């Protein structure tokens, strides 16, 4: 599933389980494993084992139908000389830089907008969540149609006299358009996370600031932002990891080959293209995947470190 859950699960992992009576264990020594077995099995076979085998495969020349041999760092050396790899890395990085600031700030403003319990607000909250619910394929096809040369947005631009813009034909506009779609689809999701955080901001802080004569903008900067800062870091972490791994938006809008001359290919698109099919280069695709792992972990550490530094 694509919906990233939030960090508290990991944070709560450290909490000790309250001690059940000793007898519980003696009575049913077998059952804990019986309870956990299905979950452990699925996770071991489809997450942990594939992770280990990806790392191992990255040092081989394995192909879909051929077993492959150990080739050391050859795949990684080849990456350095592969133009497509650098294009993918560039685009995935640009995606993070373009999408993350928007997804940290806009959903917060949206959450402030729907925070008050005014009549009809439940409807608006649910409606703003609609793009999150819709499949990425549906979203992609809708925006391809909206941004088409003859689509709604160009028709509107023509009507007001600006003229057509080739959103889907220009290499850079394509990437920017995909980013806009990613932001559009993610707004509602991060809005909900911010809503939960805003609920914990004490009202008195705002009132005190208002008494001191702070306007809305000033209260936002001096009260709201500091109060939800850790949530902003969480959103930055989640959205940057998701942005770096982008596949569907670009695949759907730029096509399987990644737009003009493949210039819009992202890293995960490259993994999919190189590694699948009957002649798929499993070893090389695994090396690409390892790069994705490393960057994702680095991004998380970077964001979390930024959080800690500001705390100090």
Partner 1 sequence: MNAPTVTDAEGRRVAPWQLVLRYVLLIAVLALTVGPFLWQLSTSLKGPHEDIFSSPPSFLPGDPTLGNYGRVADTIPVWDYAFNSLKVAAANVVTNCVGAALAGYALARMRYRGRRAATLAFILAMLVPVEGLIIAQFTTMRELGLNNTLIGVLLPGSISAINVLLMRNAFLNLPLEVEEAAFVDGANVWQRFLRIALPSVKGTLAVVAIFAFMGAWDDFLWPLIVLSDPDKFTLTIGLNYLHGTFANDERLVAAGTIIAVAPLIALFACLQRYFFRGVGEGAVKG
Site for partner 1 in 232-271 (CB under 8 A): 241, 245, 247-248, 252, 268, 271
Q: How many residues bind partner 1 (CB under 8 A)?
A: 113
Q: Report 190-209 residues binding partner 1 (CB under 8 A).
A: 192-193, 195-197, 199, 203
SS3 70: strand
Binding test (CB under 8 A) with partner 1, winner from 66, 155, 208, 298: 155
Q: For residues 93 and 84, give the distance between their C-alpha atoms in angstroms, rounded to a whole number.
A: 14
Q: For residues 290 and 73, give the distance between their C-alpha atoms in angstroms, rounded to a whole number.
A: 12
Binding test (CB under 8 A) with partner 1, winner from 66, 70, 77, 124: 124
User: Which of the ranges 81-89, 144-152, 168-176, 257-265 carries the binding residues for partner 1, by CB under 8 A?
Assistant: 144-152
Binding test (CB under 8 A) with partner 1, winner from 66, 73, 97, 113: 113
User: Which of the ranges 76-84, 115-123, 221-229, 301-309 carries the binding residues for partner 1, by CB under 8 A?
Assistant: 115-123
Q: Report 72-91 residues binding partner 1 (CB under 8 A).
A: none
- State how far Cα 171 lies from the chain centre: 22
Query: Any contact of residue 131 with partner 1 (CB under 8 A)?
Result: yes
Q: Which residues contact 86 (CB under 8 A, 6 or more apart)?
A: none
Task: Give the largest Cα separation in the chain, rounded.
Answer: 79
* Of residues 265, 268, 262, the one with CA closest to residue 291: 268
Q: For residues 198 and 202, give the distance between their C-alpha atoms in angstroms, rounded to a whole number.
A: 9
User: Which of the ranges 70-78, 96-104, 126-134, 171-179 carries the binding residues for partner 1, by CB under 8 A?
Assistant: 126-134
Site string for partner 1, 92-111 (x = CB under 8 A): ------------------x-
Q: In the structure encoding, which two tokens stand for residue 291, read together?
A: 């790069």
Q: What angle do CA 162, 165, 169 make, to 5 degrees?
A: 170
CA–CA distances in Å: residue 100 to residues 11, 182, 239: 23, 10, 6
Query: Any contact of residue 51 with partner 1 (CB under 8 A)?
Result: yes
Closer CB to partner 1, residue 19 or residue 72? 19
User: Which of the ranges 69-77, 78-86, 219-227, 281-289 carries the binding residues for partner 1, by CB under 8 A?
Assistant: 281-289
Buried b (16+ CB within 10 A) or exposed e, 220-259: beebbeebbeebbbbbbbbbbbbbbbbbbbbbbbbeeebb
User: Which of the ranges 29-37, 81-89, 96-104, 219-227 carries the binding residues for partner 1, by CB under 8 A?
Assistant: 29-37
Render 232-266 in DSSP notation, one character per residue. Answer: HHHHHHHHHHHHHT--HHHHHHHTTTTSGGGTT--
Query: Any contact of residue 224 with partner 1 (CB under 8 A)?
Result: no
Query: Any contact of residue 15 with partner 1 (CB under 8 A)?
Result: yes
Query: Any contact of residue 217 with partner 1 (CB under 8 A)?
Result: no
Query: Any contact of residue 213 with partner 1 (CB under 8 A)?
Result: no
Query: Any contact of residue 279 with partner 1 (CB under 8 A)?
Result: no
Least CB distance to partner 1 at residue 44 (A)? 7
Least CB distance to partner 1 at residue 230 (A)? 9
DSSP-assigned letter for residue 163? -
Query: Any contact of residue 32 with partner 1 (CB under 8 A)?
Result: yes
Residue with tokens 């702070």: 214
Query: Any contact of residue 214 with partner 1 (CB under 8 A)?
Result: no
Q: For residues 69 and 184, give the distance between their C-alpha atoms in angstroms, rounded to a whole number.
A: 45
User: Which of the ranges 82-90, 95-103, 172-180, 288-296 carries the binding residues for partner 1, by CB under 8 A?
Assistant: 288-296
């Amino acid at each position: 599933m694509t919906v990233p859950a939030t960090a508290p699960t990991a944070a709560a992992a450290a909490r000790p389980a309250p001690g059940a009576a000793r007898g519980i264990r003696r009575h049913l020594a077998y059952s804990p494993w019986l309870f956990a077995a299905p979950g452990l099995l699925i996770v071991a076979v489809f997450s942990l084992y594939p992770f280990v085998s990806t790392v191992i495969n990255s040092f081989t020349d394995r192909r879909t139908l051929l077993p492959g041999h150990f080739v050391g760092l050859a795949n990684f050396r080849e990456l350095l000389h592969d133009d497509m790899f650098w294009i993918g890395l560039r685009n995935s990085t640009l995606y993070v830089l373009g999408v993350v600031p928007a997804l940290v700030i806009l959903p917060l403003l949206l959450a402030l907008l729907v925070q008050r319990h005014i009549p009809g607000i439940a409807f608006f909250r649910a409606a703003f969540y609609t793009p999150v619910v819709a499949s990425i394929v549906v979203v992609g096809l809708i925006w391809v149609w909206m941004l088409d040369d003859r689509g709604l947005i160009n028709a509107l631009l023509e009507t007001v006299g600006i003229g057509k813009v080739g959103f889907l034909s220009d290499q850079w506009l394509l990437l920017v358009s995909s980013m806009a779609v990613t932001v559009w689809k993610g707004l509602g999701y991060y809005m909900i996370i911010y809503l939960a955080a805003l609920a914990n901001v004490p009202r008195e802080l705002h009132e005190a600031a208002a008494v001191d004569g702070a306007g809305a903008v000033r209260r936002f900067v001096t009260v709201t932002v500091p109060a939800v800062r850790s949530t902003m870091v969480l959103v930055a972490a989640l959205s940057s990891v998701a942005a770096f791994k982008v596949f569907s938006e670009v695949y759907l809008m730029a096509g399987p080959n990644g737009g003009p001359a493949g210039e819009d290919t992202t890293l995960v698109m490259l993994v999919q293209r190189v590694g699948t099919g009957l002649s798929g280069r499993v070893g090389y695709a695994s090396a690409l995947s390892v790069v994705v792992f490393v960057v994702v972990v680095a991004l998380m550490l970077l964001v979390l470190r930024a959080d800690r530094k500001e705390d100090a």
